[in-house]
A and B are shown apart, each in its own frame.
Chain A
Amino acid sequence: MDFKLTKTQMLQQELFRKFAETEIKPIAKDMDEAEDYDRELLQKLQKIGAFGIPYSREYGGQGADVLTYTLCMEEMSKVDASTGITLSVHTSLCCPCINEFGTEEQKQKYLRPLVDGSKIGCFGLTEPGAGTDAAGVRTEARLEGDYYVLNGTKMFTTNSGFADTFIVFALTDKTKGPKGMSAFIVERGYEGLSVGPNIERMGIRAASNCEVIYENVKVPKENLLGKEGQGYKIAMTALGGGRIGIGAQSVGIAQGAIDETLKYVKERKQGGKPIGKYQNTQFKLAECQTKVDAARLMVWRAATEKDLHGNYAPYAAMCKYFASDVANEVTRQCVQLFGGYGYCREYPVERAMRDAKITEIYEGTNEAMKMIISGSMKV
């Protein structure tokens, strides 16, 4: 174990860094203000392969590993956490459902365009009355001939504003609770599917995050993923891996804030010298960087475990829990070091601080993470 990236991974990191600096950083603030994701940027991301990183080339994916995917998440989130979540929902929530549970036909028809970068995916589990408690899902799917008919409302569906392919979780048997839940592949064009406006949020405002209403949406029978009743398992599997991405996003948000602060404290003068010359500044930055490094190693650990097909779930939960805490702590410290300017929207650290908050909440709150971790400890 040498904690070093391979040459391939280093060059990948270089690609992500250059892309983020050149293509995303200059427009990140504007996208946040507009609360709208730049569609051209989506296409550019698709072109470099950002939407299919850890997927097999056999299906048109990029053929890289999960660790490389976390490098992408970190570099993109350093300049724009909205890009991070856009990639994450597609790559580690939507695609795994088809990759791991789909039939060969479903993979050819739906996975291929998702991982080759021609289509974008989203993941519809959360409902107005069902968040972390996925068992509270109310959306129904009724089998009628060759179709399942879907009815219900999904909340906070990331990417839904522009996604082509929706993974939707609905009850095929209301009497069985979570065991009666099934997963479906739904195309945007299906009649009865409607997407609301972008929900006004505190952070990751450029990401598309809307309410999606399913009203008598007829889904062909062959779009059922796995078997009836496997929905809960599918959702949990996807979320289990997705957390590694959120961990990496958190590391990116924090590192991005530190990088900006480092630059600033060398330029900003108070009392006749740059504020970076004061020990208070130095110590605060040292604390921040130490925490971020620890979080990054945890993310890499979880990613490596997943690459090796090990039992990564507890590591994923730990890295998500720890890294998201670090992201909040570090961005808050960075705003403090910036002083009044840090509170101004002209500088990116206030956006980082707003963006950081959600990492403690989505894809399982940190409270839920602790349940998973303690569960794995058999407390």
Chain B
Amino acid sequence: MKIVVCIKQVPDTVEVKIDPKTGTLIRDGVPSIINHDDKTGIEAALQLREQLGGTVTVVSMGPPQADVALREALAMGCDEAVLVSAREFGGSDTYATSGILAAALKKIGYDLIITGRQAIDGDTAQVGPQIGEKLHVPQVSYVEEVKEATKDYIVVKRQFEDGYHIIKIKTPCLLTAIAELATPRYMSVRGIVEAYEKEIKVLGFEDLKDDLELDMIGLKGSPTNVYQSFTKEVKGAGTILTDLSADEAVKAIIDKLEAKFII
């Protein structure tokens, strides 16, 4: 079984700010990590490999610095790593990104594709399903448990807000992982030593262009564009209410909860 896991390198925090002058993200000094849900996906893939045999390939689209995320995946035990990187791919939205990753996956080959549900920076949860669509493979997203796995099909538990479905899906297919699916293992010291002895394959624009919608990649080709981004306004000073009756106090709280869409 050839399992391919798509991962994204993200900042190790959601505490980021916008540079008021340039309008870009300030990422100075913030270390990068493998996105949590993606790391869960790696663990699930490694467990499936242990059970079914085969290989786990990890793929990331990003700048050359994403190298370290791929090394980490190798150090956890993945067999090979592929970096999808080209200037033409920069600024891609989810549609464009999924198109590029789908092209890469066609090159790499797969029986099972696993992605994280969503990345902590963008929170879109779109790239996984859109890769599935581009490759015309069925998907189950929000997978919280693998109940049964064979080379031909997988039975998974799919989470909903109010319950779950048990779904049988034939391979090749795509699953998106949520935190409940698996607890990612640590890298090992030896794994890290060996990760840096391996070579990471790079797929660039020339390698993929035959399988790309050329007018739908990069900043220009992305169907959605950022109009503006801004840091959320800082909170003003709070209000303190004294001498209220209990009912008035309750009403004040309910109004606040309502105004902030808590209830």
A and B directly contacting (CB within 8 A): yes
Of the A-B pairs whose beta carbons lie under 8 Å apart in the complex, a sample of 27, sorted by A's number, is A7-B68, A7-B196, A8-B196, A11-B68, A11-B187, A11-B195, A11-B196, A12-B189, A14-B72, A15-B75, A15-B189, A18-B186, A47-B186, A48-B187, A48-B189, A49-B188, A49-B190, A50-B189, A52-B190, A57-B190, A57-B193, A62-B188, A62-B193, A63-B193, A63-B194, A64-B193, A72-B189
Closest 8 pairs between A and B when the two form their complex, measured CB to CB = A49-B189, A62-B189, A62-B190, A49-B188, A8-B196, A63-B193, A48-B186, A15-B187
Chain B residues in 8 Å Cβ range of A343: none
In the complex, residue of chain B having the shortest beta-carbon distance to the beta carbon of A57: B190
Q: Does A19 contact B (CB under 8 A)?
A: yes
Cα(A68)–Cα(B31), bound, Å: 20
Chain A: CB-nearest residue to B195 = A11
A289 to B7, CA, bound (A): 37
A10 to B, closest residue via Cβ: B68
Q: Is B192 an interface residue (CB 8 A)?
A: yes
Asked if B117 is at the interface of the complex by the 8 Å CB criterion, the answer is no
Give A256 Cβ to nearest chain B Cβ, in Å: 19
Kindly state the separation between the CA atoms of A178 and B75 in the bound complex, as whole angstroms: 46
Looking at the complex, which one of A8, A19, A52, A64 makes contact with B186 (CB distance below 8 Å)?
A: A19
Chain B positions 164-197 with a Cβ under 8 Å from a chain A Cβ: 185-196
A15 contacts B190, C-beta separation under 8 Å:
no
A-B CB contacts (within 8 Å), total count: 57
A47–B186 CA distance with the chains assembled, in angstroms? 9
Tell me if A's interface is mostly helix, strand, loop or mixed.
helix
Whether the Cβ atoms of B186 and A15 lie closer than 8 Å is yes
Contact A47 B75 (CB under 8 A): no
Give the CA-CA distance A64 to B192 in the complex, in Å: 9
**How many residues on chain B are close to A (CB under 8 Å)?**
17
Tell me the residues in window 12-36 of chain A with beta carbons closer than 8 Å to chain B beta carbons.
12, 14-15, 18-19
B157 an interface residue at 8 Å Cβ cutoff?
A: no
Q: When chains A and B are docked, how far (Å) is the Cα of A53 from the Cα of B190? A: 8
Q: Report the minimum CB–CB distance from A49 to chain B (whole Å).
A: 4
Max chain A Cβ within 10 angstroms of own Cβ: one of B75, B188, B191, B193:
B193
Nearest CB on B from A14, distance (A) = 8
The reply on B71 being an interface residue by CB < 8 A is: yes
Roughly how many angstroms separate A47 CA and B192 CA in the complex, as a whole number?
13
What's the tally of chain A residues with a CB closer than 8 Å to chain B? 21
Distance (Å) between the CB of A320 and the closest chain B CB?
23
B78 to chain A, nearest CB (A): 14
Contacts of B191 in A (CB 8 A): 49
Please give the distance in Å from B228's CB to the nearest CB on chain A: 33
List, in ascending order, chain A residues with CB within 8 A of B186's CB. 15, 18-19, 47-48
- Among residues of A, the one whose C-beta sits closest to the C-beta of B67 is A7
Known: A7-B71, A14-B31. 8 other contacts (CB 8 A): A11-B68, A11-B72, A11-B192, A15-B192, A49-B189, A49-B191, A62-B188, A64-B193
Which residues of A sit under 8 angstroms from B185, Cβ to Cβ? Answer: 47
Q: Which residues of B contact A64 (CB under 8 A)?
A: 189-190, 192-193
In the assembly, what is the distance between CA of A18 and CA of B189, in Å? 13
Bound state CA distance, A377 and B191, in angstroms? 41
Closest Cβ of chain A to B21, distance in Å, is 27
Known: A7-B68, A11-B75. A48 touches B196 (CB 8 A): no
What residue of chain A has the Cβ atom nearest to residue B193's Cβ? Answer: A63
CA distance A57 to B193 in the complex (A): 10
Q: Quick one: which of B71, B186, B192, B195 has the most chain A CB within 10 A?
A: B192
Once bound together, how far apart are the Cα atoms of A64 and B189, in whole Å?
7
Near B by CB (< 8 A), chain A positions 31-90 give 47-50, 52-53, 57, 61-64, 68, 72
- Assess the A8–B188 pair: CB atoms within 8 A: no
Contacts of B190 in A (CB 8 A): 49, 52, 57, 61-64
Q: Identify which of B75, B186, B187, B196 gathers the most chain A CB atoms within 10 Å of its CB.
A: B186
Out of B68, B72, B188, B195, which one reaches A47, CB within 8 Å? B188
Chain A, Cβ-Cβ closest to B75: A11
Query: For the complex, what is the distance from the CA of A52 to the CA of B188, rounded to whole Å?
Result: 11
Interface residues as binary, A311-322 with B (CB distance below 8 Å gives 1, 0 otherwise):
000000000000
Evaluate contact between B196 and A68: CB separation under 8 angstroms: no
The answer for the CA separation of A15 and B187 in the assembled complex, in Å, is 7
CB distance from B106 to the nearest CB of A (A): 31
A50 and B193 alpha carbons, distance in the complex (Å): 13
Question: Complex: how many Å from CA A85 to CA B47?
Answer: 33
Chain A: minimal CB distance from B186 (Å): 5
Residue of A12, A61, A64 most packed against chain B (CB within 10 A): A12
A28 CB, min distance to chain B CBs, angstroms: 18
- Rounded to whole Å, the gap between the CB of B77 and the closest CB of chain A is 12
How far, in whole Å, are A68 and B193 apart by their CA atoms in the complex? 10
Is B71 touching A11 in the complex (CB atoms < 8 A)?
A: yes
Q: Give CA–CA (A8, B189) in the complex, Å.
A: 10
Give the docked Cα–Cα distance between A19 and B68 (Å).
18
Residue of chain A at shortest CB distance from B188: A49
CB-defined contacts of B193 to chain A, threshold 8 Å: 8, 57, 62-64
> Which chain B residues border A53 with CB–CB below 8 Å?
189
Q: Enumerate chain A residues within 8 angstroms of B189, measured Cβ to Cβ.
A: 12, 15, 48-50, 52-53, 62, 64, 68, 72
Q: Report B125 CB to chain A, min CB distance, Å.
A: 25
Nearest opposing residue in chain B for A19, CB measure: B186
Give chain A nearest CB distance to B66 CB in angstroms: 13
Q: Give the residue among B188, B190, B194 with the most A Cβ atoms within 10 A.
A: B190
Q: Which partner residue on chain B sits nearest A63 by CB separation?
A: B193
Measured between beta carbons, the chain B residues less than 8 angstroms from A61 are 190
**CA A18 to CA B185, docked complex, whole Å:** 12
